[in-house]
Amino acid sequence: MVFQSHRITGVLAEFVDYIVFMGGDGMGNGVAFPRMNQTIIVNLGSAFGTSDVYRGGSLRGQVDGIWINGKQDETFLLENRGTTAMYAIGLKLGMVPYFAGLPAMETNNQAVVAEDWGVGSRLRTSEIAALRERLLERPVAEGFGLIEAYLLSLVRGSDLSALWKVRWLGRAMYTRSVHQLCGDLGVTRKRLRGEAQYYFGDAVKNIQGIIRLNQTLGNIARATVGEEPGRVPQASLSALHDYFDQSHFIRDFKARTGITPLQYRRLCRQFPLIARTPNFLPLTRETFLQFISGEGS
């Protein structure tokens, strides 16, 4: 198993949280819970498939090449029956349109292959093929540099007039209500909803719920394996986003993940590495379903 990470600096750090490389047999397979950020995958290995972890059935079929890994708001299964070799690029909140040239909400329910990205990305099939060929021939450390240069080429020339608003909104959602955001920006709720769907993939309230869940997953995972809380994304949520009571917390957690907080804690004990990836479990569908049915707990 190979896992290498690359630190983002300079202009690109305004748009991208991380770039990592994962490789090995079976690496990358598992159950993914709702997450804040969409991810660009540059795949050099076998094709991946996504499916509903609870009901089965393909969500996108087999995908390879370069794609945006969608399904931001639901739990899904990621599978690769061959050898994994892939770069994963975690985009910051609100940055999908600057790379893909399409609304972020269009990536929520499927993995969108790069050939289907909008014309606003200025991305061409020949460029994708050329990038993958170069990555196949180069060491991972050089591959990180090639990807950085490629992503910068997609950003350059973009209309960045709304970037200040997107960045501000990405931070402000942690501490402000929808009413406050509308007042600060001087927009109606309808306008705010439309802009949030375009840049972030959903209405503000729903994105705030996913942010809260992601912080909850991280806190439980790290506390279970005895690690320090570590870095939280951008900022801590204000008391405005607290759960009303314990029953509300449990209902919301189960509605978003399909399991209870106690079941998640037990999974964390079984897989301590989840502290690094709180919303991803390296489990097959069968093993996961056996576990939550009580046979594996």
Q: What is the pLDDT of residues 255-280, one digit of tens each?
A: 999 999 999 999 999 888 888 889 88
C-alpha Rg value of the chain to the nearest Å: 19
Report pLDDT for 136: 93
Residue with tokens 């748009």: 15
- 83-97, 101-115, 168-182 — which is least confidently predicted? 101-115
Structure tokens at 208: 């705030």
Report pLDDT for 297: 45
| Mean pLDDT in residue range 31-36 | 88
Residue 233 burial by Cβ neighbours in a 10 Å radius (0-12, 13-18, 19+): middle
| Mean pLDDT in residue range 86-103 | 89
Question: With the C-alpha atoms ordered 95, 99, 103, 106, is the resulting torsion angle positive or negative?
Answer: negative
* Cα-to-chain-centroid distance, residue 93: 9
Residue with tokens 């450390």: 141
| Mean pLDDT in residue range 84-92 | 91
Q: Classify the phi-psi angles of 251: left when phi > 0, otherwise alpha if psi is within -120 to 50, otherwise beta.
A: alpha
Single-letter amino acid code for the residue at 286? E
Asked if the model's pLDDT at residue 252 lies above 70, the reply is yes
| Mean pLDDT in residue range 220-245 | 67
Asked if the model's pLDDT at residue 8 lies above 80, the reply is yes
User: Where do the domains of the chain lie, and which CATH numbers do they carry?
Assistant: 2-155 (2.60.120.10)
pLDDT in tens, 101-137: 889 988 887 778 887 776 555 555 677 778 889 999 9
Question: How much is the pTM?
Answer: 0.86
Q: Give the mean pLDDT of the chain.
A: 84
Asked if 64 contacts 47 with a C-beta cutoff of 8 angstroms, the reply is yes
Report pLDDT for 264: 93
d(CA 257, CA 219): 15
**Cβ neighbours of 142 (radius 10 Å):** 12
pLDDT band at 36 (very low <50, low <70, confident <90, very high): confident
pLDDT band at 169 (very low <50, low <70, confident <90, very high): very high
CA dihedral 241, 245, 251, 253 (to 10 degrees): 50
* Cα-to-chain-centroid distance, residue 29: 15
Backbone angles phi, psi at 274, to 5 degrees: -65, -15
pLDDT band at 224 (very low <50, low <70, confident <90, very high): confident
d(CA 87, CA 138): 13
pLDDT band at 239 (very low <50, low <70, confident <90, very high): low
pLDDT band at 177 (very low <50, low <70, confident <90, very high): very high
Report pLDDT for 59: 57
| Mean pLDDT in residue range 54-59 | 70
Report pLDDT for 265: 93
Asked if the model's pLDDT at residue 21 lies above 90, the reply is yes
Work out the percent of the chain whose per-residue pLDDT is above 90.
Answer: 41
